Amino acid sequence: MIRALWTAATGMSAKQTCLDVVANNLANLSTVGFKKSRAEFQDLMYQIQKRSGFETSSGIQSPIGIEIGMGSKLTAVQKFFTQGDYVQTGNDFDWSIEGDGFFQVDDNGRTLYTRAGNFKKSKDGFLVTADGLKLIPNVTVPEETVTFTIDAGGMWTALDGKGAKLGSGQLEIAKFVNPAGLTSLGHNLFEESEGSGPAKTGKPAQDGYGSISQHFLEMSNVNSVDEMIYMIEALRAYEMNSKAIQTADQMLQTVSNLKR
Amino acid sequence: MAVGGIGELVDATNRVMPRLDSIANNISNMGTSGFKADRLYYLKEKDPSSGGAGMKTTPLLVVDFSQGSLAATGNPLDLAVKGDGFFVVKTKNGEAYTRKGNFTVNKNNELVTQDGDLLVGESGKITLNGNNVVVSENGEVSVDGNRVGKLKIVKFAKPSLLVRDGNGLFSDPGGAGLGMNDKPEVQAGFLEMSNVQSIREMVEMINVQRTVDIYQKGIQTISEQDKLSTSRVGRVG
């Protein structure tokens, strides 16, 4: 009986985590390049009360054992790399990747990955993220630049007012076998992990890499309706787990009331 | 003799209690992908030790292997088996079987479960070197257009004999009748949800609680009778 109390308690704490994840998704409903997550659970170990094959009173070997489960636990918070909505901004340095791939940025020698393409020009002319991390390969925008373009294949060109070319280069983006295995670092940044596999870089719009759209930003892929449904689901499941605790409690009370 | 009746009711109460444990576990795993609900029953059978007259109750735990609903995730490494069948996983205790398909890759690019156990294909482990992973409906795995392996999907003649190891894994202690599923139906980008039905669990829970209430009333009634008979029988006047 005490087992049922604890089993239902694991269910309640699992649902709490579920709500934490939903809350984070909702908080990032309008974060550029944000990818939603979902909590994943698995069943805990089973307490074996009788092994299969135990002999019943009539001498028959019972085919099935009696295993009582001990509840559930969190296994992973899985990220979903589905496409977010695109928003036109008109800004030359707002880029989005249509399809698979991540922009690569440099954090003091460590390469990190992001889907947020809202780049800025740093004071020395490099294109950087909002947090000041440089794009890899570096994109330098000369001071006299008037027009800056990047095509779907990642080829960028900086032109001055008379149409003379000041600089150009090729952007490369990275792909992973299992992007869901990337580690989130916050600030819209992801880091390669064992689960994601190593990054493979390539030119956009080729070999399955997504293409670049200038003047567009990829918004969060959180769908508020979905999140609301998950929230209701988590809340109701939480309530049902608490009902199991109440029932166990009331049954214990019934038993203790035997002696008056 | 009335006191014997109390003993039977106490036994019955003790049998009902684990049913709530099983229900609590089901409710706790309502959101666990690939989870299969179970239900504890008791069988009444003849007790040979009583010379054929008495009855004995035997517990029977039945795992419900019915299909859970499939939820779209869009992750190419999330796989769901439609209909009969289990994925085969290599754990440190030998082969295990699972319906939980939220796979990932390890540092050698091999397809593994979230706990790091290797997924077994028809010709050993499946290694994904490349970008574009596609798992077809019959379980063929291809990377960037090249076939790299086929998922091993097995089925059991008597799945009720499987033992649950937790973490969504089942193992075969022998006798479950392992066989290949030659025509598996695999859905990539989907996860099989838990097959726990909340309404059923709530109803069962009410049922269990009321049963205990009735047993308690029975015990109280019998002890009341005992009290009366001990205090009144033999009293004159």
Model confidence pLDDT, tens digit, residues B209-221: 999 999 999 999 9
Tell me how close the Cα of B72 comes to any Cα of chain A, in angstroms: 11
Asked if B29 and A258 come within 8 Å (Cβ–Cβ), the reply is: no
Q: Give me the half-sphere count of Cα atoms (radius 13 Å) on the Cβ side of residue A153.
A: 6
Asked if A42 and B100 come within 8 Å (Cβ–Cβ), the reply is: yes
**DSSP H or E run through A16:** helix A2-27
Chain A residues inside the 8 Å CB shell of B19:
none
Q: How far apart are the first and last CA of chain A?
A: 21
Q: pLDDT class for A152, splitting at 50, 70, 90?
A: very high
Asked if B163 and A237 come within 8 Å (Cβ–Cβ), the reply is: no
Q: pLDDT class for A34, splitting at 50, 70, 90?
A: very high
- Name the residue among A15, A56, A63 with its Cβ closest to that of B45: A56
Arithmetic mean of pLDDT over chain B: 87
> Which positions 101-120 of B are in contact with A (Cβ < 8 Å)?
102, 104-107, 109, 114-115
Q: pLDDT class for B150, splitting at 50, 70, 90?
A: very high
- Name the residue among B29, B77, B216 with its Cβ closest to that of A258: B216
Most B-contacting residue of A13, A47, A57 (CB-CB within 10 A), to test interface: A57
Higher pLDDT residue, B58 or A38? A38
* A208 and A125 within one domain: yes
Tell me how close the Cα of A6 comes to any Cα of chain B, in angstroms: 9
pLDDT higher than 70, residue B52: no
* A245 and A212 within one domain: no
Q: Please tell me which of A39-48, A108-117, B124-133, B174-183 the model is most confident about, judged by mean pLDDT.
A: A108-117
Q: What is the DSSP letter of B42?
A: E
Nearest CA in chain A to B204: A244
* A122 and A45 within one domain: no
Residue A192, C-beta contacts closer than 8 angstroms, at least 6 positions apart: A111, A113, A176, A182, A183, A198, A199
Does the beta carbon of B32 lie under 8 angstroms from any beta carbon of chain A? yes
Arithmetic mean of pLDDT over chain A: 88
Mean pLDDT of A92-119: 93
Q: pLDDT class for B2, splitting at 50, 70, 90?
A: very low
Chain A residues inside the 8 Å CB shell of B209:
247, 250-251
The percent of residues in chain B predicted with pLDDT above 70, rounded, is 95
Higher pLDDT residue, B142 or B237? B142
B168's tokens: 């969504």
Mean pLDDT lowest for which of A179-188, B49-58, B196-205? B49-58
* A60 and A6 within one domain: yes
Nearest CA in chain B to A64: B161
Q: How many CB atoms neighbour CB A122 within 10 A? A: 15
Nearest CA in chain B to A181: B104
Torsion of CA A84, A90, A95, A97, to 10 degrees: 40
Higher pLDDT residue, A23 or A194? A23
The percent of residues in chain A predicted with pLDDT above 70, rounded, is 93
Asked if B60 and A255 come within 8 Å (Cβ–Cβ), the reply is: no
pLDDT higher than 60, residue A229: yes
Q: How many CB atoms neighbour CB A61 within 10 A? A: 9
For A9-18, the pLDDT digits (tens) are: 999 999 999 9
Mean pLDDT of A104-123: 92
Higher pLDDT residue, B161 or B156? B156
- Under DSSP, is residue A88 helix (H, G, I), strand (E, B) or coil? strand
**What's the structural domain count of chain A?**
2
Tell me how close the Cα of B182 comes to any Cα of chain A, in angstroms: 27
Which pLDDT value is given to residue A246? 92
Q: Which of B62, B67, B90, B41 is nearest to B162 (CA)?
A: B62
Chain B residues inside the 8 Å CB shell of A15:
31
* A240 and A181 within one domain: no
Using CA atoms, how far apart are residues A181 and A198, in angstroms rounded to an integer? 11
Which pLDDT value is given to residue B50? 65
pLDDT higher than 70, residue B177: yes
Domain of residue A107, residue span = 86-218
Q: pLDDT class for B120, splitting at 50, 70, 90?
A: very high
Asked if B56 and A41 come within 8 Å (Cβ–Cβ), the reply is: no
Return the number of CB contacts < 8 Å for A and B: 225
A228's tokens: 């609301």
Q: Which of B82, B134, B110, B225 is nearest to A194 (CA)?
A: B110
Higher pLDDT residue, A135 or A54? A135
For A193-206, the pLDDT digits (tens) are: 887 888 889 999 98
Strand partners, A213: A96
Contact B170, A51 (CB under 8 A): no
Asked if B21 and A67 come within 8 Å (Cβ–Cβ), the reply is: no
For A170-187, the pLDDT digits (tens) are: 999 998 888 888 899 988
For B64-98, the pLDDT digits (tens) are: 999 999 988 878 889 999 988 999 999 998 999 99
**DSSP H or E run through B97:** strand B94-98
* A170 and A60 within one domain: no
